[in-house]
Amino acid sequence: MRCCVCLFQQSLQCSPSKMAAGESNSRSSCLNLSNSGPLGNAPPSNSAHSSPASNGGAVAAAGRMNRSAGNANPRSGPENGGGAESAVRSTPSAHNPRRQLVGPSGATSGVASNMTATPSSSSSSSSASTASSSADASAAVASLPSSPASVLIYREPVYNWQATKSTVKERFALAVGSAVFDAMFNGGMATTSTEIELPDVEPAAFLALLKFLYSDEVQIGPETVMTTLYTAKKYAVPALEAHCVEFLKKNLRADNAFMLLTQARLFDEPQLASLCLENIDKNTADALAAEGFTDVDIDTLVAVLERDTLGVREVRLFGAAVRWAEAEAQRQQLQPTPENKRRVLGKALSLIRFPLMTIEEFAAGPAQSGILSDREVVSLFLHFTVNPKPHVEFIDRPRCCLRGKECSITRFSQVESRWGYSGTSDRIRFSVNRRIFVVGFGLYGSIHGPTDYQVNIQIIHTDSNTVLGQNDTGFSCDGTASTFRVMFKEPVEILPSVNYIACATLKGPDSHYGTKGMRKVTHEAPATGTKTCFTFCYAAGNNNGTSVEDGQIPEVIFYT
């Protein structure tokens, strides 16, 4: 489609609806831009430099702004016409991410770019005595699909052009709205070329920029928002940039969060990127299942997998990473073999926290994928099954899909020795006054120096005897009386006024233990003053001697 937008002194010739609808089958269409914004009251003439009346303005984009010559005077103002021509040309965007945007409907689309410009005639001017008469702006659009896109702005080089304008309205023009344009046209280093190319600006985005500069009209849609954002940044129009970012925020959902995150990182929009990451944290499973996930770049994938706040099991993250690797191998024209999948994943593979999987999940998926080496598979199986646990090259720190500051309470006032283990679980019953999420326990370690323990931790719902969370893991201690963190694989929700049992089954040498225990322990949040009150009670049955007054499980680690 060939698009031209020229300056006319009389009323428009047709409706903008065809352009808005993107009708490429019509030979030409015109935009109604007569109210696009003021350029001041200037004497109408054959030159397109003549400014429209106060109720109109000159808008040009996705086409040519034809400023034909009048009286040749290189220092004369636009009212007097004359001078050499220069142009600004916009061609299809070279800046072309894999997808421009996933719009509200979930579809992806770019901006039609087969657009070029041809000058059109303007109506004849009246004499200089009609300086205050009105002029309207309109645009003609002609179809020429095979032509490259271009936007041409013809101007005459002037010296101190501001001196030729007697009013603010007359001085309010394109160069005033953009510091970049002002430097291009009027600065000390202004180009002397008769034609200036804008090789990476889409015509539709340039049109949106000019409409905003001349009329404060915000014309943003799912198909054009990313290219408009790029254009607003390029020509230093932060107000339009803010409108674009606000539009993206309002249309952020789980199914387009990854795509918008890629764009936010590309355009250096940290606030939008942060919102995308928060959305992914809250809706990780849905975001990973979205079509746009496999289109993200490797840096975006790494940025997400590094997060501790993803709300999904690790085995599902691995499955999503494999899907991404298959798509990336295809983009790089590689066969989707296990070796090539590992190659394209690169650092991202090391961010999958395989130790957080159950042995069943690992055996059924990653162990048989061929992506991990034999040595890695063996070391992970040993990590799941033996004690002391061998070193693995993957992160074993649990992800926690909770925000805020980690909290902990200690239920003992003093530490003693010794506490023995013979396969019986240490257990203590507790309840809280408000909803929290328990993420782990602090446990005492050996009295005999540095030692490794094998441990199984659980939280059990007392009334139903249901295991709500558990982890079969291990920890290393240094022989001091300090506590050592043992974490659940996922946060365990604890409801107010409900009884639960904290359980730890240790295998290892004699340890320290706590004494002078407290029945009630209150944690107060420093920032908000919110109080979380724990009440501890004796757990009936065999509990290895642990009670309110003495024993193991000295700390509970939680989020509010």
Q: Is residue 108 part of a domain?
A: no
- Please state the pTM of the whole predicted model: 0.51
Mean pLDDT of 497-523: 96
Identify the band that residue 401 occupies on the pLDDT scale cut at 50, 70 and 90. Answer: low
What is the pLDDT, as a whole number, of residue 51? Answer: 33
* Residue 522 banded pLDDT, cuts 50, 70, 90: very high
Measured distance CA(200)–CA(220) in Å, rounded: 19
The pLDDT score that the predictor gives to residue 508 is: 94
**Which of the four pLDDT bands, split at 50, 70 and 90, describes residue 167?**
low
Report pLDDT for 57. 34
Is pLDDT at 304 greater than 90 in this prediction?
A: yes
Are 149 and 92 within 8 A, CB to CB?
A: yes
493: containing domain: 407-559
Average pLDDT of span 268-275: 88
Q: What is the pLDDT of residues 5-38, one digit of tens each?
A: 332 223 223 333 333 333 333 322 232 333 333 3
Q: Percent of the chain beyond pLDDT 70? A: 68
pLDDT band at residue 368, thresholds of 50, 70 and 90? very high
How far apart, in Å, are the Cα atoms of 174 and each of 110, 170, 270? 26, 11, 29
Q: What is the pLDDT of residues 49-108, one digit of tens each?
A: 333 333 333 333 333 333 333 333 333 333 333 333 333 333 333 333 333 333 333 333
pLDDT value for 318 = 96
Give pLDDT, residue 147. Answer: 38
Q: What is the pLDDT of residue 453?
A: 93
Residues 309-333 have pLDDT tens digits of 888 889 999 999 999 999 999 999 9
Q: List, in order, residues 6 or more apart from 325 with CB less than 8 Å away.
A: 336, 340, 341, 342, 344, 345, 371
Q: What is the DSSP string of 39-50?
A: -------SSTTS
Q: pLDDT at position 142, please?
A: 36
Single out the residue of 316, 324, 317, 384 nearest to residue 355, CA to CA: 384
Which is more confidently placed, 531 or 282? 531
Over range 259-288, report the average pLDDT.
Answer: 89
Of the segments 113-117, 243-247, 274-278, 544-548, which one has the largest average pLDDT value? 544-548
How confident is the model at residue 200, as a pLDDT? 83
Residue with tokens 């789980």: 254
Helix (H, G, I), strand (E, B) or coil at 195: coil
Say if 437 falls within a structural domain. Answer: yes
Q: Which tokens in the block code for residue 290?
A: 């979205």
* In a domain? residue 356: no
Yes or no: say if 413 and 525 are a contact pair by the CB < 8 Å rule: no
Q: What confidence score (pLDDT) does residue 12 get?
A: 28
Q: What is the pLDDT of residue 483?
A: 95
Weakest-pLDDT range from 99-108, 278-287, 542-551: 99-108
Inside any domain, residue 291: no
Q: Note the pLDDT of residue 472.
A: 87
The pLDDT of residue 309: 86
Mean pLDDT across the chain: 73
Structural tokens at position 332: 């790089």
Task: Quote the CA–CA distance of 179 and 217 in Å, as a whole number.
Answer: 19
Does position 146 have pLDDT exceeding 80, yes or no? no
| Sequence-separated (6 or more) residues with CB below 8 Å from residue 47 | 67, 68, 69, 70, 78, 81, 82, 125
Tens-place pLDDT, residues 428-473: 999 999 999 999 999 999 999 999 999 999 999 999 999 998 898 8
Number of domains comprising the chain: 1
Question: What is the reported pLDDT for 180?
Answer: 78
Q: What pLDDT, in 10s, does the model give residues 484-501? A: 999 888 888 899 999 999
CA distance 2 to 146: 9
Q: Is residue 530 part of a domain?
A: yes
CATH of the domain at 549: 2.60.120.820
Residue 239, CB-side half-sphere exposure with 13 Å CA sphere: 14
Other Cβ atoms within 10 Å of 131 Cβ, number: 14
Residue 79 counted as domain residue: no
40 occurs within a structural domain: no
Do the domain assignments include residue 428?
yes
